[in-house]
Structure 1
Amino acid sequence: MQYAVLALCGLVMFLDGFDTQAISYMAPAIAREWDLPASAMGPVFSSALVGLMIGYLAVSPLADRIGHRRMVIAATTSFSVLTVLTTFAPSVEVLLAARLLTGVGLGAAAPSAIALTSEFAPRRRRATFVLVIYCGFSLGFVAAGAAAGAVIPLLGWRPMFLIGGALPLLLVPLLWRLLPESPAYLMHRGHPVGPILHRLDPTLPESTLARGPRQDEGTTRRLPVIRLFERRWLVGTLLLWLVFAINLAEFYALQSWLPTILEGLGHPTSTVVTATTLTTVGGIAAALITGPAMDRFGAGYTLGVLYLIGAVLVGVLGAAFGASLWLLLCVTFLVGCCVSGGQKSVIAFGSLFYPPEMRSTGVAWALGIGRIGGILGPILVGLAVAAGWSTTGLFVVMALPMLVAAVTVLALGRLRYRDEPASVTGGRAETAVRRS
């Protein structure tokens, strides 16, 4: 059952990543067909990002009211149907609106998928499980590029929307049939959880699993977002937002400006594509190490060390532009391990930082607020490039926020939520998962 949850949520994240990235490959064909300047596609890209923020900040927290299972199914259905309908967009204005609404569904699905994976994962492998499904998101990026290369030259850009919408629509019946609801959500609302917990641990007596104690009325009515600003969570929440913003700023700055910098230094297109791709591949490879390390040595310590190494490597990258090609590619790959891998790891850290009843809201808001860093990072680097900064100086300065992130994460490791059975539905749901 736990691996089924892992597989289903991983597929949701894979299709989420596919749908998010596919528009980037379709943009040139859309601009040619509608006789648009390339700049006209900028608002289309931005509309999806705005939709993602709305999904993270406004829609995803509703999962704590309606349940994570329902949110994953509803959000997946939403972005799949809207993606299929986008196939018939007659103008750029309609396309912009469709991508905005699709982005809302994409943003709402991910936090609940992460929350369910974290709750059903064996305690000793929780960070690993979350990192595995988030690798699905990155693999969706890669699959979108491969599909676009095969489909667009033969059939045009519209079939890409059909593929991106039909695949998640086919997944919805499986989610409805096989994806379980969060035990913590069920018990907090006095619903029976015996069948779910018995599948996790058949040794638990059925008489003790019939129905959980309903959460007190005051806690039930309190908005999940407000709990992030309670005295116990306020400092940790703000620091976590800072780390998310720094990591996303570094990631999008690299993704946006690395190709331009490499081309400006005279590297051929093949090198530009290879180096940029290695940053994503490095993030996936890092997850194979950081997940088990977070589970074994502690999430805060592992992520803090990863950021410290990343700070050194980002500074070294500035000097590596003048080195041999193989050394440049090696450093780029290692930077991707720390920056792209750090982004996946900090999401796992966020899922461990908050208790189950706050998990999706906490992660969703961290992702949403972190997008501010994702917006500012490329802008600030662009200003530095326009001002004539050397690549060495630019990347040395870019290394400093990574140091701040490392210190912040190490401090957060001491503030994080402790998985004590008494804090989660009287211990029975947590006990079943831990035993498994």
Structure 2
Amino acid sequence: METRKVNIHDVIDEHRIGRTQRVALALCALLMLFDGFNTQTISYIVPVLASEWHLPKSILGTIFSAAFVGLLIGNFGISPLSNRFGPKKMTVLSTAAFGVLTLLTVLVTNAPQLIAIRLLTGIALGAAAPCAIGLTSEFSPKRTRATFVLLIYVGYSLGFTVAGFCCGAMIPSFGWAGPLWVGGLGPIVLTLLLIPFLPESASYLARRRSPVDLLRAAQRFFPGFILPKDAVLTSNEDATSDTRVKGLFSRNLRLGTFLLWGVFVINLAEFYFLQSWLPTVLHSLSYPSAFVVWATAVSTIGGMVAGLLMGPLMDRIGPYMILSALYLFGGISMLAISVALGATHWILVFAVFCGGFCISGGQKGVVALGSIFYPAGLRAAGVAWAYGVGRLGGAGGTYLAGVLYAANWAPDAIFRVAAAPAVGAAIFVGIMGLRYSGGRALEPSAVVRNIR
């Protein structure tokens, strides 16, 4: 009698969402929260350090960009490591690592030390986020995949917001090291929760030829699940596991891969420019410190609102038209911020909210797009590599803004320059929408044929 294969991903798609999935979703959202917190805290600390250490303007861009270079290394390096050791182990190790490195940042005494420690912290952060996104994509059913990914990314934005309020409350009383204690101890405590409660990747278990462990994973998700006696549980990722990166450039996926990379580059450049430089720009225009914190937090709140609204729309309608329109309005919002600088506070806050809604919301959306666009066998590698290439935009965008700032460009002129790339992202997503119908990922068999 021929053994019947039961696909674990079909099991996940057919069952109702269970408690284990909800717990895993919450843990991944917390991981992303601390990721965002650690990324954004430096934006509030650097102006204080620049004053205390008498740093020149020219070095600020290097400090901001150091973590993004580390993020780039972490993104590109995580794919082979997670394939070998498993996404769960890499998630646990990278979360613990960026927690410890954040605590060590308290000990730095000069700019070169700060740059070095931020580079190492960025590597750990760059490894953690793709693992969390990949695991979330795996345990979420296809019908809610975009919503799940966007929900954990709301955690990332919430981390940015919490960082602003935490820095505003702690720096005056405890100095610049205060928020770093929160950003370091939090991930270490989270690591202790990830070890027992975060499930391992089903696809990794299948590739490791662990049918018993795979069955246990399925029963952990769905306690009532019973595998028929004549069946074996498997994963549809097996066929592409040896050619993951090559599969991104198969005939049917090649154009979409390059367009997706372009969108990631643009969006991360815009996102980190807005988050890293907005506090510095507002400080230079003599806005009160309390208002700077609120204005920067509002941009992140806009992204969270967008994330909550876009998930169901992307699952029901499709991502391309929504994302393209969002990026178009993002360019308009950056122009609005350039006009609102120097205007009354509420006008500037509204413009920043719109910019955050489009740019931060667009970043959540394009991550969800990557998890939808690629078939299961290429999803983790596709998102990780898009993230890695996109970090070039994050590092380049913040560094270019630093060059323009050091060259005494007016803040409104810098924001006008930032408007054009957002329109380019809208065009790239529109082209993807014309090429790929409905945002449906290709079947793994089609990818395998194209690889061969």
Shift of 1:387: 9.3
Shift of 1:338: 0.9
Kept in 2: contact 1:48–1:100 (CA 8 A)? yes
**Corresponding residue of 1:225:** 245
**Corresponding residue of 1:198:** 219
| RMSD between aligned residues | 3.5
Unaligned runs of 5+ in 1: 425-436
Aligned-partner Cα distance in 2 for 1:406–1:42: 27
Label 1:423 to 1:181 Cα distance change in 2 as closer, same or farther (>3 A): farther
**Corresponding residue of 1:37:** 55
Q: How does 1:234-253 map to 2 (within 5 A)?
A: 234-253=254-273
Please tell me whether residue 163 in structure 1 is matched to residue 182 in structure 2. Answer: yes
Label 1:120 to 1:219 Cα distance change in 2 as closer, same or farther (>3 A): closer
Aligned-partner Cα distance in 1 for 2:277–2:346: 20
Label 1:48 to 1:307 Cα distance change in 2 as closer, same or farther (>3 A): closer
**Corresponding residue of 2:313:** 293
Deviations 1:373-403 (A, max 9, x none): 2344456667888697895x87666444333
Of all paired residues, the percent bearing the same amino acid is 46
**Corresponding residue of 2:24:** 5
**Corresponding residue of 2:70:** 51
Kept in 2: contact 1:48–1:102 (CA 8 A)? yes
Return the match for 1:355 from 375, 385, 396: 375
**Corresponding residue of 1:309:** 329
Please tell me whether residue 411 in structure 1 is matched to residue 431 in structure 2. Answer: yes
Aligned-partner Cα distance in 1 for 2:179–2:294: 24
Shift of 1:196: 1.9
Kept in 2: contact 1:187–1:214 (CA 8 A)? no
- Secondary structure in 2 matching 1:207: coil
Letter in 1 for 2:299: T
Please tell me whether residue 97 in structure 1 is matched to residue 116 in structure 2. Answer: yes
Shift of 1:351: 1.6
**Corresponding residue of 1:62:** 81
Kept in 1: contact 2:36–2:158 (CA 8 A)? yes
Please tell me whether residue 142 in structure 1 is matched to residue 161 in structure 2. Answer: yes
Aligned-partner Cα distance in 1 for 2:337–2:327: 15
Paired residues in the alignment total 420
- Secondary structure in 1 matching 2:383: helix
Label 1:423 to 1:68 Cα distance change in 2 as closer, same or farther (>3 A): farther
Aligned-partner Cα distance in 1 for 2:121–2:38: 9
Deviations 1:267-315 (A, max 9, x none): 6666555443322211111111111111111122221222233344444
Shift of 1:87: 3.6
Shift of 1:109: 0.5
Please tell me whether residue 83 in structure 1 is matched to residue 105 in structure 2. Answer: no
Letter in 2 for 1:194: L
**Corresponding residue of 1:180:** 199
Return the match for 1:133 from 152, 162, 166: 152
Unaligned runs of 5+ in 2: 1-19, 447-452
Aligned-partner Cα distance in 1 for 2:75–2:99: 17
Moved more, 152-161 or 338-347: 152-161
Return the match for 1:277 from 297, 303, 306: 297
Aligned-partner Cα distance in 2 for 1:265–1:321: 9
TM-score where L is the length of structure 2:
0.80
Structure with more contact order per residue of length (Cα contacts < 8 Å, sep ≥ 6):
2
Kept in 2: contact 1:53–1:368 (CA 8 A)? yes
Aligned-partner Cα distance in 1 for 2:22–2:311: 16
Letter in 1 for 2:117: A
Aligned-partner Cα distance in 1 for 2:347–2:288: 16
TM-score where L is the length of structure 1:
0.82
